[in-house]
Structures are given as structure tokens and as C-alpha cells.
Chains A and B, each alone.
Chain A
Amino acid sequence: MAEAAIASPVRPALDAVGAGDKTSSLSAGQRLALKYFLVAMVLFVAQMLFGLLAGLQFLYPEFLYGVLDFNVNRMVHINAMIVWMLYGFIGSIYWLVEDEAGVELVGAKLANINFWVLTSAVAVVVVVYLVVQVGPGNKMSIWFINEGREYIEAPRWADIGIVVCMGVFFYTVAGTFMKGRWSGISGTLVLDLIALAGLYLAGMFYTTNLSVDQYWWWWVVHLWVEATWEVLVGCIMAWGLMKTLGARREIVTTWLYIEVAMMFGAGILGLGHHYFWIGTPEYWLGIGGFFSALEPIPLVAMVVHAVYDAGRHSFQSRNHPALAWLIAHAFGNFLGAGVWGFIHTLPQINLYTHGTQWTTSHGHLAFFGAYATIVIAFIYIALQRWRGDVWMSGDLADRGWKWKWSLALLNVGMLGMTIALLIAGYEQSFIERAIGGSTWAAYFEGQTQPWFVQGMQWRMIFGVVMTVGLVLLLWDFLTIGRGETRPAKEVHAPGPHVG
């Protein structure tokens, strides 16, 4: 057991957060999951904070100029996001692995050490980002400061550390399934993790040729976000639906396979929509346009799947906040990744929109809708168990106003931001590209148009709405289920291997 390893600085922190909680009733994997969730939420706060700073700089460019410049704030904003979502995924997998495998976590001690190594590395990387910021134009900067490639800025030493930590994580998860039992969900999950880790390697080299650089860079960025991450959340969504609704295993597993077939069927060659303008041959215009246009189909299927399951079980959920966030996931994924991706994926349109606020609009709603939502849902599932498997269906204390308001504020804030950015993006592609001919003068012409400026202002306002929602969400995490005496509602929870 991980009892010894858990006696570390995080234990008092967890105890403080969970005073009166049933920590000792949790398994080793579940306790580890809580630690990952804790760090994920710290990084979520960091993401929001640096997003607010970067958003303010669009409106007041002198704000923090020369101290924390836009490129630093934006890098921390997007890196904190990637890492907190990965922490959320790892936490979710550690949460479900023992239940799904039917045995205790293999290598729990190692997994704990791994958590500390990974978290220390993340902390060092962020401190260097903020303090050192940029280096001279040589390999040392790329190895030790930042790699300067959007989303995968982490310096090379950290890349190697991440790969090692992912290896340990993979060993503990796959080892647990091997010792226990396999299921359709766990099999898909483990294969997906191999692909996910393998793809990261495609981003770990330097080349002078920018076209080759971006070719492989997209293997990491696209094949993570639009393929392997989607399948990963499909796996944890399948488990989540069984646990919150008592959905039948054979139904969710079949749906999972359908989703994998459609997601990889469209998403792997959908990669081509990033190869329109980077120097790659013209056939990518056709291949990328066609397959990426199919990418929304599995996301539509997920909505059908979630609504069908929720309706089939008459919304008899044992965890209302979690179910609400799972539904937010299904719709957010469909709208953000599906619809917002589709609207500018055809090359005829993308020629005008690529590299404008359209992309920002899509990126915000897609990452939030597809990934933030499901991690939040999983944290609710974990909290319910941690607080003693208490009642979390309707009729909560205080009518559950905190979870309902945080759900509303976070989602309304994000939708508002997305629409504001889309309007700015329309304006930008019109003024800068269609009329102005894409010169620097045309770029700035677009940036000073009232519709663009107002778009940035509304983005800021809705960003603040989201921030309020986040504060409320964290408050709810600290309090939900406390003092609740009713046990969790019974749903038809099937055994792990029905049918």
C-alpha cells in the first residue's frame, strides 16, 4: 500500500481540504487520484489567471509590458491548460483503474514517487518560464528554458522527464489490468495510452526546416487533441456513465468501439487540415478538408449516446453534478470541437481564417467543452466517494446552488467568450485577409476596427464571469457532501462484467 509514500507534504494539504472526509476508506489509486486532481485545480486557477492577464494586454498593451509580456502569459496560459487536463486524465484513470481491474493498484509506491517527480518538474518549468522567460538563440535555451513551439514549449529536459513519468504511469495502469481483468474499456484505454505517449516523441527533436518542424509538431498537437485525447475521454466517459447512471456495460462498450472507429477513421487523416499552408503538397487540401469535415460525426454520436442514456435511465443519477458535467461534456465537445472546428476546416474558408481569432474561438470552446468538463465531472465522482459515498442526487443541502451556479457561470462565460472571439475573427478575416491582402498594415487595420476591439472587451467580461464560476466551483469542491448523512442513491450499477 501507499501509506508510507503518502505521508508527504501533500497529506496535510489533502487533510486540510478534506477534514472529516473518509480518506482512509479510499484505495491507493483513489488517494493518488485526489492528489492529481488537487494539482489539476491549482493549474486551472493558473490558466485562468494568465488568461486574464493576456486578455487584458489586448486591451491595454502597456500592462506589464517588459515584465510579463504577452508571449510569456500566453505560454503559461496554454501550458497550464494542457498540463491540468493531463493531470485530470491521469487522476481519472487512477480513480477507475482498481474498480475496473478488480485488484489493487500495482506499483502504488512507485506511482506516488512518480507523482512527486512529475509535479516538481512542472513547477520548475513554470518558474523558469516566468523568471528566465527567453534565452539566447542556441540549443541550451531549447534544452533548459523553453522550446518556443506552441503547446509543447516545455524544454527538452522536461520532455524526457514527461516521457519517463508517462512510462511509469503506463506501467502501473497496464500492470493493474494485467494482474486483474481486462474489459473493452480498459483494453481501449491502454492501447490509446501507448499511442498518446508514442506521439509525444514526434515533438522531441530540433530541425532547421520549419515545414518539417510543423509537420511533426502537428502529429503531437492534432493527434493528441483531435484523436487520442478524444478516445481517452471516451473511455472515462463510458465508465462515468456506468457509475452515475447505471448504464449497461455492453451498451457503453459498443458505443465506445463505434466512437473509436469514427474518431480515428476521421481524425487520423483529418490531420491534413493542418497541412494546407505549411509547405506540404496540395493533395492535403483535399484529404484534410474531406476527413476533417467528418470529424464532427463521432461527436454527434456522443451527444446521442449521452442523451439516450440519460433518458433511458430517467435521469436517475447517483451524482447530479457529475451527470450535469458529463452532459456539458457531450454538448461542449460537439459544439466546440465539432461545430466550431467544422466552420473553418474547409480550405476555401481556412485560407481566410487560419491564424485569426477564429482559431482562438474554436480552441477555447473545444478544450473547455471536450476536456475541462469531463475532468470536473470526474472530480465530482471522486468527491462523492471521498465524502463517504453520500447522497448527491436531487434535493441537496442549500439546493446545490453552488454547483448549479458554477456550472452556469463557467459555461455561459465560455460560450460568451467564444462568440465574442468569433465576431472578432469574422472581422479580422474580412478586413485583414479579404480586403487588406494580409499585410502587416492590414493586420493592424483589422486589430483596431471597433468590432474587433469590442470583441476583445466582451471576451474579457465573459472571462471574468468564468473566473467567478471557477471560484464557486472550487468552493463547492471543498464543501459538497459535507455533513450529508444520506447514503448515495441506488442506481442499477452493473458488475464490471455483465453480458
Chain B
Amino acid sequence: MSDVEWWASQDFWRKCAIFVTAGMFLVLILLTFHSLAAITAGQDRVPAYSVINHRIDYVFDEERNMRVPVIGEEAPLFGEVLTEEEAKALVDLGKLTVQAKNCMNCHTLLGNGAYYAPDLTKAWLDPGWGNEQARELLMTMFLKDPKTNARTYGTNRRMPDLGVTDEEVRGVIAFLKWMSAVDTNGFPQGFEPLPQGGS
């Protein structure tokens, strides 16, 4: 093997493989510490669960050249102000329901999942709900009886009846409201929210 040039030798490339892998993994670990701190609920990029007590605005930020979520005045979900613990419990019930009902194999959450049904990232802010006052009721009715209350926009794709309880419905809506306040770097593109704060 001594007639092989150093750059073509097994030994050189074995060392490269080891050092490159170790180095990259180390960088990933360091970035992971930083990122996890940044996405802990209640930090700047991911809201605290009690955000569901407030109006969520989605406004254009000149500096970042994208829309960002802004936590507005008090606007409690279902008219009831919750403590941080209560809010967390409700969002948690929603998240568990979203997992147990396998929502992600039709919908996308933060753009990840399946593509048979709309993305849920900004579902809380979707203009399709008409106005702020009707939103909670319409969402509840839809989740409780998606067969009858489906709006398929001409596709005939209807959500199946997943047998969600009243409490689970409240949880799912709380989860969707919380998710809409996550700073997603402007995803999904060009989204304009339901008019907020107007009558």
C-alpha cells in the first residue's frame, strides 16, 4: 500500500471520516443546547401556554421582512382566564388528542405531516373562520361533527368523525391557538390572518 498517494490512502480517509463525524456531531450538540433554550415555552420564539388568554396578532415586521406573531390584549379562550398551569394542562390535552387521533397523517403541523388536508400551523388565524366572534363556536362545531359541518371547497374531502369529547375539543382549540403564536420565520408564505380586534 506504500505506493498509494497520501490523499488516496485508506488511512487518511478513515481519519477524515472519524474527525469529520465527531466534529460535526459536536457542533450539533452545542447548537442543540442553544436551540432548546430558545424554543422552551415562554421564551421569545415559542410562547408560554397562557398565551391562550390573549389575542394573537400576526403583523409584518419591517426589519425581519416577514410576519411575526405578537401577543395582544387579553382575549381569553372560551371567555375564561386560565393560570399558566391550567393553560398548560389544556394545551397538553390538545396535543395528546392531536397525536391520539393521528391528525398528522392527513394534516401538516408546522408544515410536517401529510398533505391530504390543510396545514394547521396558523389554523387559529385562518380567515376562513369569518370573524373573531364566530371562530370558537365554528371550530367547536366542526371538530364535534366534521361530517356535517365540513367545508370541502369542492374537493369532497371530509374529515372523519374522530369521536372527540367536549373537553378534547377545547384542548385541541387551545393547542391550535398556542401553535399560531409560535414564531415560524414567516412560514407559511404570505399568510394574512383573520381580521383581529375589529367588530
Question: Which A residues lie at the B interface, using CB under 8 A?
Answer: 54, 57-58, 61-62, 65-66, 69-72, 74-75, 133-139, 141-142, 145-150, 153, 184, 188, 206, 208-215, 217, 250, 253-254, 257-258, 260-261, 264-265, 268-269, 271, 274-285, 287, 347, 351-352, 354-357, 359-360, 433-434, 436-441, 443-445, 447-448, 499
Known: A280-B38, A281-B45, A439-B192. A268 touches B21 (CB 8 A): yes
Q: Is the CB of B91 within 8 A of A208?
A: yes
Report the separation of the CA atoms of residues A440 and B193 in the bound assembly, to the nearest whole angstrom: 11
Q: Is the CB of A278 within 8 A of B24?
A: no
Residue of A nearest to B119 (CB): A355
Q: Which residues of chain B from 147 to 199 have a CB within 8 Å of any chain A CB? A: 152-158, 160-165, 168, 171, 175, 179, 182-192
Known: A141-B100, A279-B110. A208 touches B88 (CB 8 A): yes
Interface of A is mostly: helix
Q: Is the CB of B110 within 8 A of A499?
A: no
Q: Is the CB of A351 within 8 A of B189?
A: yes
Q: Is the CB of A70 within 8 A of B49?
A: no
Choose from B1, B36, B192 the contact partner of A212 (Cβ within 8 Å).
B36
Minimum C-beta distance from B148 to chain A (A):
13
Report the separation of the CA atoms of residues A471 and B158 in the bound assembly, to the nearest whole angstrom: 33
Report the separation of the CA atoms of residues A487 and B93 in the bound assembly, to the nearest whole angstrom: 64
4 pairs of A and B residues whose beta carbons are closest in the complex: A137-B97, A148-B99, A444-B153, A438-B188
CB-defined contacts of A448 to chain B, threshold 8 Å? 153-155
Residue of B nearest to A217 (CB): B112
Known: A254-B13, A354-B111. A142 touches B24 (CB 8 A): no
User: What are 19 contact pairs spanning A and B, CB under 8 A?
Assistant: A61-B157, A134-B162, A134-B163, A150-B114, A153-B105, A208-B91, A209-B39, A210-B95, A210-B110, A214-B112, A257-B17, A264-B25, A275-B35, A277-B110, A283-B31, A440-B118, A440-B128, A444-B154, A448-B154
Question: Which B residues lie at the A interface, using CB under 8 A?
Answer: 1, 8-10, 13-14, 16-17, 20-21, 24-25, 27-28, 31-32, 34-36, 38-41, 45-46, 49, 88, 91-106, 108-116, 118-119, 121-123, 126-128, 152-158, 160-165, 168, 171, 175, 179, 182-192
Report the separation of the CA atoms of residues A184 and B123 in the bound assembly, to the nearest whole angstrom: 51
Q: Is the CB of A269 within 8 A of B105?
A: no
Report the separation of the CA atoms of residues A68 and B115 in the bound assembly, to the nearest whole angstrom: 17
Q: Is the CB of B182 within 8 A of A211?
A: yes
Known: A61-B158, A74-B116. A265 touches B24 (CB 8 A): yes
Known: A137-B101, A250-B1, A438-B119. A279 touches B182 (CB 8 A): yes
Q: Is the CB of A66 within 8 A of B160?
A: yes
Minimum C-beta distance from B92 to chain A (A):
4
Report the separation of the CA atoms of residues A347 and B188 in the bound assembly, to the nearest whole angstrom: 12
CB-defined contacts of B108 to chain A, threshold 8 Å? 355
Report the separation of the CA atoms of residues A135 and B14 in the bound assembly, to the nearest whole angstrom: 49
Report the separation of the CA atoms of residues A448 and B154 in the bound assembly, to the nearest whole angstrom: 7
Residue of A nearest to B128 (CB): A440
Q: Is the CB of B35 within 8 A of A281?
A: yes
Report the separation of the CA atoms of residues A206 and B185 in the bound assembly, to the nearest whole angstrom: 25
Report the separation of the CA atoms of residues A135 and B168 in the bound assembly, to the nearest whole angstrom: 12
Q: Is the CB of B113 within 8 A of A184?
A: no
Report the separation of the CA atoms of residues A134 and B171 in the bound assembly, to the nearest whole angstrom: 17
CB-defined contacts of A148 to chain B, threshold 8 Å? 98-105
CB-defined contacts of B152 to chain A, threshold 8 Å? 61, 444
CB-defined contacts of B119 to chain A, threshold 8 Å? 355, 438, 443
Q: Is the CB of A261 within 8 A of B160?
A: no
Minimum C-beta distance from A173 to chain B (A):
20
CB-defined contacts of B14 to chain A, threshold 8 Å? 184, 257
Report the separation of the CA atoms of residues A281 and B184 in the bound assembly, to the nearest whole angstrom: 9
Minimum C-beta distance from A404 to chain B (A):
34
Give 17 A-B pairs besides A134-B100, A279-B182, A440-B153 with Cβ atoms closer than 8 angstroms: A149-B104, A150-B113, A210-B109, A212-B39, A250-B10, A254-B8, A257-B14, A261-B16, A268-B28, A269-B24, A269-B28, A278-B39, A280-B45, A281-B35, A283-B31, A354-B187, A499-B1
Give the most central of B101, B102, B118, B155: most A CB within 10 Å.
B102
CB-defined contacts of A260 to chain B, threshold 8 Å? 17, 21
Known: A214-B112, A215-B36, A438-B191. A71 touches B10 (CB 8 A): no
Q: Is the CB of A150 within 8 A of B112?
A: yes
Report the separation of the CA atoms of residues A70 and B156 in the bound assembly, to the nearest whole angstrom: 13
Choose from B96, B128, B185 the contact partner of A276 (Cβ within 8 Å).
B185
CB-defined contacts of B115 to chain A, threshold 8 Å? 355-357, 359-360
CB-defined contacts of B93 to chain A, threshold 8 Å? 137
Q: Is the CB of B96 within 8 A of A253?
A: no
Choose from A135, A147, A213, A261 the contact partner of B17 (Cβ within 8 Å).
A261
Report the separation of the CA atoms of residues A489 and B14 in the bound assembly, to the nearest whole angstrom: 33
CB-defined contacts of B126 to chain A, threshold 8 Å? 439-440
CB-defined contacts of A347 to chain B, threshold 8 Å? 185
Known: A61-B157, A277-B187. A437 touches B24 (CB 8 A): no
Minimum C-beta distance from B125 to chain A (A):
9
Minimum C-beta distance from A420 to chain B (A):
14
CB-defined contacts of B49 to chain A, threshold 8 Å? 208
Residue of A nearest to B92 (CB): A208
Residue of A nearest to B121 (CB): A277
Q: Is the CB of A268 within 8 A of B24?
A: yes
Choose from B10, B27, B94 the contact partner of A254 (Cβ within 8 Å).
B10
Report the separation of the CA atoms of residues A287 and B24 in the bound assembly, to the nearest whole angstrom: 12
Q: Is the CB of A285 within 8 A of B185?
A: yes
CB-defined contacts of B17 to chain A, threshold 8 Å? 188, 257-258, 260-261, 264
